[in-house]
Structure 1
């Protein structure tokens, strides 16, 4: 889970200030010492940590906290604001020209995920009804061209290639000519990398950029390499004057130091975050939302956006009517589960719900995604009649369903009971207070 270690430590440190009627200088010193240690353990740049803690201390000792009715909460707000500022203040989208084609050049070390990222960006722009062109300028790595061509086929996006015998500059010139001819609106150039930064790599990238005059030069770095990612970003920026950073594997980065440091060190914003292996797993990087996630405040806006992307609005309205009229069937239940799965990993969604991320009280309530797979298999092993009327499922039918889904009769019984409980819960939902709702959450099939 992204930033899990850092998130827990920061919430623990700042949680001690919550509810305090007065925050003394001693209270603040203790809390900020823990914050400092948490950030350093997360592999955040030392100077960045020092400056960050200094700014928080200065503001927290000022009037905005001392005269506040909720000083503890005010300190947490200051930490959130300063963390947002640290990561870039606001989202920085890619700047494409009004007259196409816009050119995006990807740079980075070998293994940082440039080629896959080229595919993810092509997918993003295709969804936005733009016409992307992928350009294979990595003539160094064996199979790089083939990898990009395979991605292009999967996405139904054209790939421009001249093999590995031509220079990247000649390939880029040819690609721009074709893009203008075919009215491609976005040209995404995949470049070569090395295992380390060297003069030859930099000269090649500089020559390439000089030829294409890229609108965006985006550096792709692996978030899990921590301070190494920041050092790479600093060097590339000095030589290439990058316009922004794309962080891959942010979903697996439990520390978070790279994301917190890169903007302060290079002055260039993180524009996108890779959050998984699928071509859809690419998010615009929102510093304010990320700061809220880290501090356990959730990220409702991103959750809503994911839901809007993944869930059919008309089907959602229809589902609501069925739930309220008690005509909700196992067929509908299966469809609902599939829509939830399409939004991404459940634990990532939980992180976006305010109060859920890092909440120790919720540690015993684990999210089991394998349970979703099991439920799907059981429902798919039922006949259409059984899905619409579960009351007809007797013991012999249960044995057949269990065998067909590779599960046990007990699992089938458990699902049927959970389904009935869910129907009852939805019936009572309108009358239920918040506390009662939370108690009933345990009956959902993917919560245990």
Structure 2
């Protein structure tokens, strides 16, 4: 329904087990409370994955976002101790069509409902998520609020709220555009992930300094299983700290927020590039490389979120099915290589290496005169297809080639 009349809500009867989703344009959806009771407000976005809800919930890139799952049945495999991409749930709220009443998995350690309650995540279920997503695709993502529990319908003096109160709360919340959020999700202190798998206990092939902008735990693991020692560093790391680690390469992770606000991170990346250190960036890391090279970024109408996005590698013509989570993109020219605009082209030539086949959004950048490249999507595949795992191998080749050059020098 659409908010047209400012009706008073009877909190005792209405919010005992029900919930309300209010969008900033006045659209209202009523359903059942799911997870913790209360109020939450954030940017509402949708994720199209048919699996991987636990990885989605724990992805720090979803900080301050209410996530709508387009797949209708969520929670059937419960939650486990292996699939989380961080130590906590990061979504601001959760919207599903039909939560599973049962948990069926040999790995399960509990139910999704219980974990949402334990971590205070407010959600709503039993709404028409197909209609909601169609509306967001048409109108664009926007601010929204989920309201449930008796206290949600009372104002600060204990009086019943009217519908307009909910809309006012939503419209007074900060927008995602202009939000700098990496400091909220980055690690408080550095830590090291040692080589794993076939390289367990062996000397590392390469050492990587990884800036945590909201890193998913599978990313350093993908490097570690290829023989890398990965130093995961907080967002306020200096170039001196990076040099002290004597890394063979630098990695910038995924993360939340508007890349146009990340001036300190861009300044650090320019120092990395000026030092000649091989660089690889994923997601926000791709946007920051674009900014470091002198390109602008912009907000997408509804973004890419899910594990079924077709991307073409323009160097090979190969199409990859890839995992995405981004609402911003790099504004760089596709086609022939161009001089990177920053500082009169000091970083040489750059080309767009990958594009999304659904909407032609830039999905990768490759520098031709310095050792740096990035992609907008998630080759760590947590959850998602493994089509893009070769990008980690490309980064290792870049680092090893640079090491070989140093040896000859």
TM-score in terms of structure 1 length: 0.27
Structure richer in strand, relative to its length: 2
Using CA pairs under 8 Å that are at least 6 residues apart, name the structure with larger relative contact order, 1 or 2.
1
TM-score in terms of structure 2 length: 0.29
User: Which structure has the greater CA radius of gyration?
Assistant: 1
